[in-house]
Structures are given as structure tokens and as C-alpha cells.
Homo-oligomer: A and B are copies of this chain.
């Protein structure tokens, strides 16, 4: 039995954007968004305006992560008074004008930012806050209704709460969903990864349609969602000059979301020594050996497994 009074209330989600090509060599999002720009029938839902959008067209053209600076992480922190701004900073400002600005009546309600990773992460939604009940409910809906994702990726959806600053944060009012799907090399389009991303978007848009439906919308009751909370970033072992001296250990490679216990192998030095995890408790590494994170001095991130309770949600009634 649902209770009107206990549900968290959100405005209808009438304007939805789907960003591809925030990193121009992550081909699932680039390809899907380009397809939907030509023919958007697949992403249309009743009473929802869905806009597919290539966020970094110059990087897409060059099939590179970025041209001047990472649109996803750093672009937003450049001083805006400089005369000659990096391309991605200009572009972030332009995107903000089109889809934001945050807090304005014109701002988009939901933005999906589509990414691929070279890590063996399956499907991952990156949220900014464990209080983001809309996205938590959406993920729960996708997990419950999905029948195809498991066979496509042999893995279920994972949900990560972390401190990464996504390009989305300044662009929409509340609902931010960074979607990572992998493993897929940069510049490559693999059919299973492409289909997995497509299926997630289908379910997510169905969820939004249901949420909006009729005068009162559908109530999504309280649910529990397993999440991985990001703890810290682990660099590769280095020598005194800063050169990498070890690789991710074969036991850890591709083991995203698997427990890493004290004493487990973590790195293998180039001269054959195994370095073990020295922490005091079990952690769950992810983004293991992601290509784009070498320049960020990051071999993987550690996470802790938690179960969150997502409050029931329902749309606001005028």
C-alpha cells in the first residue's frame, strides 16, 4: 500500500538530455547519440522532450578523449575571465547555456552522460549523492525490469556514489546520471557494450514516463539499493623519478567490484615481484586499469559496499 504523505516529491521530468561524446573516443555514447540525432523515435516518450546531444564534437571528430582539457573533470574550474579559454571550457559554458543554468526555470530536468571505460565494470551509474532518490529509484527500476543486461555483459548494474565532478553538475537541477559501460577499448565500438547502454537508456526513459504519468504519476515505493561508495584513488607504484614500476596484478585485473582482502595481490612489478594489499579491511576496487586514468596517476579506485534505502518517490502535484 503506498502512502502519499511519505513519498519524496519531485517535479515532473519533462526535459531530458542525453549526452554522448563528452569523451570523444568513447564510442557507444557517440554512436547512440549520433543515431538518435538523425532519428529520435526510439527515445521519445509521452510528454517528455528528449534531446540527444554531442557534447564535445571536436574530440569526437578527432576520436580523442579531449582537445585541450578534460570536459568531464576540469573544464568547469578554469577561471572564466581568461581571454583565450581552452576549447572544452568554452564548450562547457555553451552547454550550460543550452541545458542550464542550474536553478533556472529553463534548466533540463534529467541529463544522462554516456561514457565507456576500458575497465571490466559492466554497467555503472555514477551519482553525486546517496540522497539522490530519483536516480536510486531509477536504477532499482532498471535492475528489476531488466532481462537483457545480464546476458549482454554477464554482470548486473553497479551503482557508485563518488566524489567525481561530472560535467552534469552545473547543468541540471537535480537528476544527474553519469553512465559508464565497459570493458571497451577507446575508439572501438563493441556490440554488447552498445546494446547494454541502449537497453539501460530504454529502461531509464520508461521510468521517467511512468514517473510523469497521468495527474499523479506512478509512486515508486521505498526500496533498498546496493551501492559502492568511493573511498580513495590508488596510484601505480613509482620510482623516485615518478616512473611507473608495476602493473595491475593479473589476479586483480578485470576484477572490478570483486572483494580485495588484506594480503591479496595488487600489483606486479616489472621485475616480477608481487605487491599485496596492505589495508585493514575488505575493499571493492573498480576503474581498474582504465586507460584514461594513467595521466591522472590512478590505477584504480577503492570502494566500500553499502546498502542504501531510497525513499519512495512521486511527482509533485500542482
The chain A residues found within 8 Å of chain B, CB to CB, are 31, 35, 63-64, 118, 183, 185-192, 194, 247-250, 253, 268, 270, 289-292, 294-295
Contact = CB atoms under 8 A, between A and B. Distances in A.
Contacts of A289: 188-190
Tell me whether chain A's interface is mostly helix, strand or loop, or mixed: loop
A294 B35 contact: no
Contacts of A31: 270
A186 to B, nearest CB: 6
8 closest pairs, A vs B, by CB? A185-B185, A187-B291, A118-B185, A191-B247, A188-B291, A191-B250, A191-B268, A185-B291
A118 B188 contact: yes
Contacts of A268: 191
Contacts of A250: 191-192
Given A185-B185, A185-B186, A295 B63 contact: yes
A253 B190 contact: yes
Given A63-B295, A118-B187, 12 more contacts: A185-B188, A186-B187, A186-B291, A187-B291, A187-B294, A189-B247, A189-B289, A190-B248, A191-B247, A191-B249, A191-B250, A191-B268
Number of copies: 2
Contacts of A247: 189-191, 194
A186 B186 contact: yes
A245 to B, nearest CB: 9
A294 B63 contact: yes
Contacts of A291: 185-188
B35 A270 contact: yes
A65 to B, nearest CB: 9
Nearest to A32: B270
A160 to B, nearest CB: 21
B185 A248 contact: no
A183, A248, A249, A291, most chain B CB atoms within 10 A: A291
A296 B315 CA distance: 50
Nearest to A291: B187
A292 B187 contact: yes
Nearest to A292: B187
A294 to B, nearest CB: 6
A64 B289 CA distance: 17
Contacts of A188: 118, 185, 289-291, 294
Nearest to A268: B191
A291 B64 CA distance: 12
Contacts of A187: 118, 186, 291-292, 294
Contacts of A295: 63
A249 B192 CA distance: 9
14 contacts: A31-B270, A35-B270, A63-B295, A64-B64, A118-B187, A118-B188, A185-B185, A185-B188, A186-B291, A189-B247, A190-B248, A190-B289, A191-B248, A191-B250
